[in-house]
């Protein structure tokens, strides 16, 4: 059991050492206070167990804010058959582990600004029911487009995560659940 718990931590710390390796743009650790605001998902890739039709679904923007106990909180209004539903997930910034946030036991997400503070990479390495799960995301603060060097850097991240760069998804943008647009 201890070996299984150390595996995601070991993978995460290994990736920490290569965060700057091979990137065109310089990376910098993200902290809770610098991440606050609205973000867009520009590209993502992963081996998450999702149906094919969900993989390419349009994605709305998301907000990173502080919750009542000071944790970073991911919030996204997701379109569903019954209307817009808010999805929330708390992320605790790990003390002594730069850029790392705990989602739940032994699931860490690492967030790094790339090419300044308007774009970032978020990536997850975890194990659920004994199955390794990986996901990487390129996110933008003010828009849902990125320049070619950021896209190339994201391809490098996907390769570093041992994912297939041909599986990178460019999700359509969904603004149907933005405030003021709900029906």
Global confidence as pTM:
0.82
Q: Over the stretch 131-170, which tens digit does the pLDDT of each residue have?
A: 888 999 999 998 888 999 999 999 999 999 999 888 899 9
Which residues neighbour 124 within 8 Å (Cβ) at sequence distance 6 or greater?
A: 46, 103, 107, 108, 109, 110, 133, 134, 135, 136
The Cα angle at residue 47 between residues 113 and 22, in degrees rounded to 5 = 40
3-state secondary structure of 26: coil
What's the rounded Cα separation, in Å, for the pair 134 and 68? 29
Which residues neighbour 112 within 8 Å (Cβ) at sequence distance 6 or greater?
A: 19, 27, 28, 29, 30, 99, 120, 121
On whether the CB atoms of residues 115 and 149 are closer than 8 A, the answer is yes
The confidence band for 109, taking pLDDT boundaries of 50, 70 and 90, is very high
């Amino acid at each position: 059991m201890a070996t299984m718990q150390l595996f995601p931590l070991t993978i995460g710390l290994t990736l920490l050492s290569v965060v700057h390796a091979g990137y065109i743009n310089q990376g910098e650790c993200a902290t809770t206070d610098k991440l606050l605001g609205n973000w867009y998902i520009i590209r993502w890739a992963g081996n998450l167990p999702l149906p094919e039709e969900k993989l390419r679904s349009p994605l709305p923007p998301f907000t990173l804010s502080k919750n009542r106990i000071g944790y970073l909180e991911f919030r996204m209004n997701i379109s569903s058959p019954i209307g817009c539903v808010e999805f929330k997930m708390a992320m605790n910034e790990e003390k002594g582990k730069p850029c790392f946030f705990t989602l739940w036991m032994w699931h860490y997400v690492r967030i790094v600004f790339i090419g300044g503070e308007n774009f970032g990479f978020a990536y997850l390495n975890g194990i659920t029911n004994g199955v390794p799960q990986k996901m990487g995301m390129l996110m933008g603060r003010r828009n849902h487009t990125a320049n070619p060097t950021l896209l190339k850097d994201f391809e490098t991240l996907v390769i570093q995560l041992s994912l297939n760069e041909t599986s990178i998804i460019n999700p359509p943008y969904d603004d149907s659940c933005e405030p003021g647009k709900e029906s």
